[in-house]
Chain A
Amino acid sequence: MEADNLLVERAKQGDMTAFSELVVRHQKSLLRLAFRVVRDLQTAQDVVQESFFKAHQKLKSFEGRSAFKSWIFQIALNTAKNKLRARSFDTVDLEKTPVSDGVDIEEAMMNDDLKVMIQSEIEKLPTKQRTALNLRIFEDLSFAEIAEVMACPYDTAKANYRHALMKLRHQLSESLVVEGWHNQQTRNLMEADA
């Protein structure tokens, strides 16, 4: 598979096939990223479209100091935040989200109330911490990549992630639901060890 930076170089020369391949590679991640911010499928698709459009327009100024993925993530995050500013999303409408026909085992393990509570606690985190958490846990980015997306030093990216996790741990450990879940899991682990 051709590396992103090679595709970028070809796209800079006007090769639309190369840019098309970059879209194929990153559109799904970008859609997820945007959806976490705007919580609306149509708007998330708009964010993906506008982000690639902006990236294409600015491609010549992209010097490749960071990875294309980090760059396009940064554009998408800013675009999604601008969408939020432009439109008022007061509440998260979970009913709008598509529902799976199949049953995912891990999903089934999680109580819906617990999921909503965790999402709510994540929403309460300061933006930088929430962004670092999202990129690390949901997108599986390295801290170096997170630093690029967030345009901050490596240690800052890591510190934001740590703070987010510690804050969530504190908030969630106060919930009986989580404690009960943890205890059950710990019991299961101990039984498995025995």
Chain B
Amino acid sequence: MIKLEDWIDYMEGEADLKTMGRLGLLIEHSRADREVLSNLMRMRMLIEHADPAIALEPLTEKAGFLDRLHDRVMTFIEEGQRGRGRLSTSKSSASGSSRSEVRADDSKENSSALD
């Protein structure tokens, strides 16, 4: 019985050579195993297409959007370099709406990306 972890590693190209060979043979000769892999790949694709950030694509493809974001970032940094104590986070924003403020020295963050 092949463990699901092995199929996942196979799909991701992370299985070792021995496992790759063993699973490759199974795929060649067993319809059931082909279906296991096929369903796993299908599920991965479903997840990929459920990415909420896909909704951003039309916006980021729009002319000027990323340029404005870039300008906003660079302006913020340059203002920080000039030693301003408090900086508005809404400079050059796409919407121009006023938003939260952040202290220039507010770099408090976790040492790890994990909770």
Bound CA–CA A79/B100 (angstroms): 14
> Number of residue pairs across A and B with beta carbons under 8 Å?
180
* 8 A Cβ contacts from A135-185 to B: 136-138, 143, 149-152, 158, 161-162, 165-166, 168-169, 172, 178, 181-182, 185
29 chain-A/chain-B pairs, Cβ below 8 angstroms: A23-B74, A27-B70, A35-B56, A41-B59, A42-B99, A45-B69, A48-B73, A49-B69, A49-B72, A50-B102, A52-B76, A57-B80, A57-B107, A73-B113, A75-B109, A81-B110, A97-B55, A98-B59, A99-B55, A106-B49, A107-B49, A107-B54, A131-B113, A143-B12, A150-B114, A165-B40, A181-B46, A182-B39, A182-B43
- Whether A97 lies near B56 (C-beta < 8 A) is yes
Contact digits for A3-38, partner B, Cβ 8 Å, 1 yes 0 no: 000000000000010011001100110011101100
Which of A133, A137, A189 has the most B CB atoms < 10 Å from its CB?
Answer: A137
Instruction: List chain B residues, Cβ under 8 A from A52.
Output: 73, 76-77
Report the nearest B residue to A51, measured CB to CB.
Answer: B73
A92 to B53, CA, bound (A): 13
Please report the total number of A residues contacting B with Cβ < 8 Å: 77
Contact B112 A100 (CB under 8 A): no
A interface with B by C-beta (< 8 Å): 16, 19-20, 23-24, 27-28, 31-33, 35-36, 39, 41-42, 45-46, 48-50, 52-54, 56-58, 73-75, 77-79, 81-82, 92, 94, 97-102, 106-107, 109-110, 114-115, 118-119, 122, 127-128, 131, 133, 136-138, 143, 149-152, 158, 161-162, 165-166, 168-169, 172, 178, 181-182, 185-186, 189
Q: Is residue B50 contacting chain A, with contact meaning CB distance below 8 A? A: yes
Is the Cβ of B49 less than 8 Å from the Cβ of A149? no
Contacts of A182 in B (CB 8 A): 39, 42-43
The distance in angstroms between the C-alpha atoms of A54 and B72, with both chains bound, is 14
| A110 in contact with B113 (CB, 8 Å) | no
Contact-residue bracket for chain B? 35 or more
CB distance from B13 to the nearest CB of A (A): 10
Within the complex, the shortest CB–CB distance from A51 to chain B, in Å, comes to 9
Shortest 9 CB-CB contacts between residues of A and residues of B? A97-B55, A32-B53, A118-B50, A78-B109, A127-B115, A100-B58, A151-B112, A77-B113, A115-B50
**Cβ contacts under 8 Å, B9 to chain A:** 158, 162
Assembled-state Cα–Cα distance A106/B44 (Å) = 13
* A58–B111 alpha-carbon span in the complex (Å): 13
CA–CA, A106 and B35, complex, Å: 21
Docked complex: B79-115 residues within 8 A CB-CB of A: 80, 89, 93-95, 97, 99-100, 102, 104, 106-115
